[in-house]
Structure 1
Amino acid sequence: MSLLKSLRATSRAGEATAARRRRPLAVALAATAVVVGAAVLAACGGSVSQATDFEPGRLIVLGDEHSVLDDSTSAGNARKYGVNGLDSSGNRDCTVLPSVIQYVASRYGLVFAACNPSNATVTAWNRARAGAKVEGGGNSLAEQIASGALRSDDLVTVWIGTHDVIEVYRQFNKGQLSEAGALAEIERRGAAAAAQINGVLATGARALVFTVPDLGLSPYARAMVSAADPDDATIGADSAAMSRLTALSKGFNAYLRTAIDSTRYDGRNFGLIFPDEVVQALTSKPTSYLTYLVSPYNVSSAVCAAAQPACDNETADLVSSGVYNGYLWASPLWFSYPAHHLLAVQVNTRLSALPF
């Protein structure tokens, strides 16, 4: 079943037993959306009654591996940095186990060139790049924004910051930054991301802005507690890695959220999506989300044994006894399908509630 059909089924009447099982998740996400949406509008003077429905003509995707669709090995049939789905014949199918940005596109009937099995007209553009940071590096958020003019009928998704948090943490770990200096630097980067989002909104485009996941709860952070960074042996084990990465994630998110210009932009212009809260909720009380995080669940380890983005939902690509839909994380830093599914529920609620 596609994610769009799955979400529609979730709200279908007459499924009493299933509805009772889903209620904790639906209530929690709906409550979060209402509270956050109301807070944004109240703080910025927005009002639902002041807006008309927004129907995007295009979707523009900005960010890092959370949003990448890589069709370099199979044109029109992209791989994701997560768990890729297989069709009934065992072949990779980019429409199976969709990411949250694929859900956004499907909600409006928009099509990515990178996932286009029916060769439909392309109406969604994915500028997200592996390794992207807020600034520098050749794939920065600023460079993605500048790669093509935005229009007033564009819906833009922005999900950036994971590599910034990891880079700043590594600089601290190697003694290049003090703890206070690391926090100041990550806050600066969060504010820099918000400044670039202000530029996006100034074009008249609308945006969905994603927070950085709580990386202190990631498999990367958990491994760093007792072992050196597998990608850089100069990054030594750190017993406080989890708390430090959580603090850096919070610092980035705080400035990302508060430095968007509230005197000019409110719920008529953008909506906030909270991967950090999804990670925290699934980690602290996974049994409340078993409609999506299938038991036996695992919220601390990565399910993929295969390197990203080549991990498919077949036994050879997964850890022993791994079940892809029971894992929060696909790899040390990137989500598995259940997290994307939960974020799609949050996006659906947000887009239904925001005035835009």
Structure 2
Amino acid sequence: MNVNPNRAPAAAIAIARGWRAALAAGALALLASCGGGSLEQAFVPAGFVVFGDEQSLVLGTTDPATGATYPTGRKYGYNVGDNCSASELWTQYLLRVRGYSFAECAPANTAVTAGGMKARPRARLADVAAQVDAYLATGPTDRMLATVMAGTWDLIDLYVEVRDGRLSLAQANEQAKVRGQQLGQQIVRLSNAGVRVLVVTTFNPVYSPWGQAQRNANPGVDVAGVLRALTESFNIQAAITFQGAGLDGRKVGWYDAASEVQQVVENGTARANVGIGDWTTPLCANSTATLNPANPDPTDPDLPACVTPRAGITNVNLYLWSGAVTLGPQMHARIGLRVQNLLAVLPL
């Protein structure tokens, strides 16, 4: 039995009613509070620092989660052999168009950025706070831009608690708000240190191959409704927290990747616009729709051993997902382009 991803329980509906309005109001607030969104001057970052989980992560030659070694930098999800600059992550795209790269993957004719890669695999919000702690302890330099994309693993953890009966949906929602608040607090801390911040919202895991497998394996659980409610509570609370601290579009950029992933899954026109042809199958040959959130190991399908697409795949860019919960190359390119366009118009 498949659970309709559009069906949500009453508690989820109550949250969802305010989701679009809350984000729309937040976006308008960010612009209105800085003169209607007029561009005061172009913000030219002196360096980039990246916080979050594997959706943003370029590894060096050693995976910190497993100790596995590689001849060159690797990414979670799809890798084109040992060419770490091919099939870019959104963070790589953002740096490349400005002539920068990460030390973990530095093509010729690019400058290695100051700040650099702080993201780590399977990072929860507690881990992101530690990433920010370590960075702020070094003393940020002027005109730094931080990117933050996190929360997927917190949402998966909370869903498992509901699925297994240890938390009610209401209790899990409160925890999702707490973790969203924690994310917002990290944004505030970075801003208070003089760092501009670009936030990319975390997508709803129900749309991933892992989420689809959960719906099929748990017919007695409203998997879609639970994950939708948790995702929306988390993302909304993050925005409420940093806006409540007085941060606006001069200090924080906000890109709603969660809504874009949802549109690609649910809307054929949106899929065509992005260039996605398959939104259910992970493209990696070694990927399944299962994973172990608590204990990643070398056989985990989302570890960076994916260098071969599934048999018969000739265009990896048609696939929304690389692995169980990792986005594919085309969606990374889309997010990178959207974020680049956002930075061009925000008066940071």
TM range (shorter): 0.7 to 0.9
The structural deviation recorded for 1:263 is 5.1
User: Among 50, 59, 66, which residue is 2:48 paired with?
Assistant: 59
Q: Which amino acid aligns with 2:345?
A: A
What TM-score results when the alignment is normalised by the length of structure 2? 0.79
Q: Judging changes above 3 Å, is the alpha-carbon distance between structure 1 residues 122 and 348 closer, same or farther for their aligned structure 2 residues?
A: closer
Q: Which residue of 1 aligns with 2:230?
A: 248
The structural deviation recorded for 1:220 is 1.2
Q: Which residue of 1 aligns with 2:258?
A: 276
Q: Which residue of 2 aligns with 1:150?
A: 140
On the 8 A contact 2:44/2:143 being kept in 1, the answer is: yes
Q: Which residue of 1 aligns with 2:275?
A: 293
On the 8 A contact 1:133/1:141 being kept in 2, the answer is: yes
In the alignment, the residues of structure 1 paired with residue 38 and residue 214 of structure 2 have an alpha-carbon distance, to the nearest angstrom, of: 49
Q: How does 1:85-124 map to 2 (within 5 A)?
A: 85=80, 91-118=81-108, 121-124=111-114
Is residue 2:201 matched to residue 1:211? yes
In the alignment, the residues of structure 1 paired with residue 100 and residue 89 of structure 2 have an alpha-carbon distance, to the nearest angstrom, of: 14
In the alignment, the residues of structure 2 paired with residue 113 and residue 141 of structure 1 have an alpha-carbon distance, to the nearest angstrom, of: 20
Q: Which amino acid aligns with 1:261?
A: Q
The structural deviation recorded for 1:131 is 1.2
Q: Percent identity?
A: 29
On the 8 A contact 1:63/1:159 being kept in 2, the answer is: yes
In the alignment, the residues of structure 2 paired with residue 323 and residue 163 of structure 1 have an alpha-carbon distance, to the nearest angstrom, of: 29
Is residue 2:341 matched to residue 1:334? no
The structural deviation recorded for 1:92 is 2.3
On the 8 A contact 2:26/2:239 being kept in 1, the answer is: no
Point out where structure 1 has 5 or more consecutive residues left out of the alignment.
Answer: 1-32, 86-90, 228-235
The structural deviation recorded for 1:303 is 1.6
Alignment: residue pair count: 300
Q: Which residue of 2 aligns with 1:180?
A: 170
Q: Judging changes above 3 Å, is the alpha-carbon distance between structure 1 residues 80 and 264 closer, same or farther for their aligned structure 2 residues?
A: same
Q: Judging changes above 3 Å, is the alpha-carbon distance between structure 1 residues 48 and 192 closer, same or farther for their aligned structure 2 residues?
A: same
Q: Which residue of 1 aligns with 2:152?
A: 162
Q: Which moved more, 1:257-266 or 1:334-343?
A: 257-266
In the alignment, the residues of structure 1 paired with residue 216 and residue 70 of structure 2 have an alpha-carbon distance, to the nearest angstrom, of: 39
In the alignment, the residues of structure 1 paired with residue 249 and residue 194 of structure 2 have an alpha-carbon distance, to the nearest angstrom, of: 13
Is residue 2:341 matched to residue 1:346? no
User: Among 291, 298, 305, which residue is 1:310 paired with?
Assistant: 305
Q: Which residue of 1 aligns with 2:58?
A: 69
CA offsets per residue over residues 96-126 of structure 1, 9 Å max, x none?
1111101111132222100114396521400
Q: Judging changes above 3 Å, is the alpha-carbon distance between structure 1 residues 221 and 334 closer, same or farther for their aligned structure 2 residues?
A: same
Q: Which amino acid aligns with 2:263?
A: A
SS at match of 2:320: strand
Q: Judging changes above 3 Å, is the alpha-carbon distance between structure 1 residues 191 and 177 closer, same or farther for their aligned structure 2 residues?
A: same
In the alignment, the residues of structure 2 paired with residue 192 and residue 288 of structure 1 have an alpha-carbon distance, to the nearest angstrom, of: 32
CA offsets per residue over residues 152-179 of structure 1, 9 Å max, x none?
3110000110010001111112222111
SS at match of 1:92: coil
Specify which structure has the bigger relative contact order, considering alpha-carbon pairs within 8 angstroms and separated by 6 or more residues. Answer: 2
What TM-score results when the alignment is normalised by the length of structure 1? 0.78
The structural deviation recorded for 1:34 is 10
Q: Which amino acid aligns with 1:334?
A: T
Point out where structure 2 has 5 or more consecutive residues left out of the alignment.
Answer: 1-22, 63-68, 287-300
